[in-house]
Amino acid sequence: MDWTTPLKAQQTDFIQRLKSSDFLHCDKQGQHSELTVISGERLKQLRDFCWEMVKKYKPHDPKNYFINKMKGKLGEEVVKTRLGNFVTEVDYEKRVGGDGKVDFTLTSDPEVGIQVKARNGKFDEIKWIISQEEIEKNAVLVCILIQEEVSEAETKYNLILAGFLPTDIITSADGKALVGIDELLYSGGLRCYLESLASSEVDEYMRLGDECVKKEDYRGAVSYYSQVLQLQPNNVDAYNQRGRTMYYLGDKDGAIKDFNQAIRIDPNFANAYNGRGVSRSDLGDKDGAIEDYTQAIKIDPQYADAYNNRGFDRYELGDKQGAIEDYTQAIKIDPQYADAYWKRGVACSDLRAKRRAIRDFQKAADIYKREGQEKDYQDAMEEIRKLSQ
């Protein structure tokens, strides 16, 4: 089935609801809504801008010029309200030549253009017009239906997000194309379609961010992960990775905020609980950290790092036997977990279990030596020497 088929079916349903004025209406910016209401101070600012344009360029037909400007800006305000920071700002520059036939681009990618067309009239009679130049310069056409007659004195506009079309499926004749509402795709799929245009970029930004982490260029990594989140605001991996990177930069509070977002999007994301636990632990909230590690373990019982980290905080709180139990579980899951052997050795030493501590330090030393971690190897051997005296 072609990806447009469900959106065409939804558009048919939407057109039927148009007849009874039964719209989806949401006032929150950045969330999908079929109806957008513009009035009050917001409308006054828009109207003032259009009059300033009339004064600046002194057109032959000022009234018609004003009305056309109002239509265009009303339509752009709808798209900005619905897509929020996912797209660039509405262009209110007072210059000759307009916006170059591109109303918006994706915030993260100036190559993805969005053309907005607004018309008023009967929804089943009007046509939105797009030129060949606009088709070539933009990835998407978005159509807005203005329910009121646009005038100098209108105090409120009810604007319908009528639908959208990818420009690569628009066929023009004589340098332009006319599109009716029944040819459009349902507006609820607009953001998803725009995100799909940016999906290859998401993969590339994630790759570049991960490369920066390997090079310990943490500020660069944060920048790339932030680019991902501009393209896909609910990308749980990007929040998790940026959280880890913020932690490396020493911003534990910032890291916790990102881990919180990852958990909000996916309550079963064990890595985010573990990452938040580490950050909370460093900020002194050992009990909160243990709660996070425990939740990570509930989600993934084979999560060796979560057992190891919980063991460390239990040790810090004085529960050395509980710490040993956690380190032992981490080692069962990963028999080559040198850090868990080391920490269990420390806990055993504190409990005067010398022989067991020596065995753990020796096991850690063997792994460190095999992995070429010379300093860690020497430290482990020094612990063995102290205990053997």
For residue 376, which of 368, 384, 367 has the smallest C-alpha distance?
368
For residue 268, which of 299, 302, 306, 232 has the smallest C-alpha distance?
299
Does 92 have pLDDT greater than 60? yes
Give the CA dihedral 296, 300, 302, 307, nearest 10 degrees.
Answer: 10
Written as one letter, the residue type at 323 is: A
Which residue in the block uniquely carries the two structure tokens 């060796």?
Answer: 304
> What's the Cα-to-Cα distance from 135 to each of 71, 73, 142, 198, rounded to whole Å?
20, 19, 12, 19
Rounded to whole angstroms, the Cα distance separating 136 from 55 reads 32
Give SS3 for 179. strand
Give the up-direction half-sphere exposure of residue 125: CA atoms within 13 A in the CB hemisphere. Answer: 4
pLDDT given at position 95: 53
Residue 159: phi, psi to the nearest 5? Answer: -115, 130
Which of these ranges, 78-87, 226-235, 377-386, has the smallest mean pLDDT?
Answer: 226-235
For residue 297, which of 270, 259, 315 has the smallest C-alpha distance?
270
In the chain, CATH 1.25.40.10 sits at 302-389
CATH architecture of 302-389: Alpha Horseshoe (1.25)
Residue 366: phi, psi to the nearest 5? Answer: -60, -40
Does 231 have pLDDT greater than 90? no
pLDDT given at position 197: 83
Residue 369: phi, psi to the nearest 5? Answer: -65, -45
Which of these ranges, 198-207, 287-296, 328-337, has the smallest mean pLDDT?
Answer: 198-207
Which tokens hold the place of 383? Answer: 């612990």
Segment 363-380 shows an average pLDDT of 94
pLDDT, tens digit, 9 for 90 and up, residues 276-328: 999 999 999 999 999 999 999 999 999 999 999 999 999 999 999 999 999 99
* Residue 333, Cβ density class (10 Å: 0-12 exposed, 13-18 middle, ≥19 buried): middle
**Global confidence as pTM:** 0.58
Which tokens hold the place of 341? Answer: 């052997």
Which tokens hold the place of 56? Answer: 């600046």
pLDDT given at position 100: 78
User: What DSSP assignment string belongs to 329-358?
Assistant: HHHHH-TT-HHHHHHHHHHHHHTT-HHHHH
To the nearest whole percent, how much of the chain has pLDDT over 90? 80
Which tokens hold the place of 211? Answer: 């490369």
For residue 166, which of 145, 202, 142 has the smallest C-alpha distance?
142
Rounded to whole angstroms, the Cα distance separating 66 from 51 reads 6
pLDDT, tens digit, 9 for 90 and up, residues 30-70: 889 999 999 999 999 999 999 999 998 888 999 999 999 99
